[in-house]
Amino acid sequence: MNTKTLIAGIVAGIVAFFAGFLIYGLAMADYFVSAMPSYPGLLKDPGEIWAIGVGSLIWGILLAWLLNSANVITASRGASYAALAFFLYALGSGFIAFGQMNMYSIQDIFIDAICCALMMAPAGTVAGWMLGRPART
């Protein structure tokens, strides 16, 4: 992984963090809290924001690496690749979790996958744009 990809990944992670806050923390928070069964100690209040930030940075770096490997160098292709890749990732993770835990319904899995795609599309937009910029000399 080169420096350009790493920087694109860090920026994409920052974008994903804020997009995630808007989608999961504001727009869909009530839905997911009401859809989830209530177990004592299940949800942290307040949540560990630093851990969510680290996870977002890791996802951003993964996204930039995937886009770079696929030779994605435009914002629009970055958005579409990110949305599809993370929709499938969230869908797969959701079904695996569904098979192991009583957390969400199948409907919730699809809603989460759509939210994840919407969260990562702007990150892919930024990463694709950054990967397509000419190198500075």
Across residues 49-76, what is the average pLDDT? Answer: 97
DSSP-H helix ranges across 21-105: 29-35, 49-69, 75-100
Contact 60, 13 (CB under 8 A): yes
Q: Nearest-CA neighbor of 133 among 87, 68, 79?
A: 68
Domain ranges (residues) in the chain: 3-33+48-132
Is the pLDDT confidence value at 32 over 90?
no
- Structure-token match 């795609």, residue found: 117
What's this model's pTM, rounded to 2 decimal places?
A: 0.89
Confidence of residue 80 (pLDDT cuts 50, 70, 90): very high
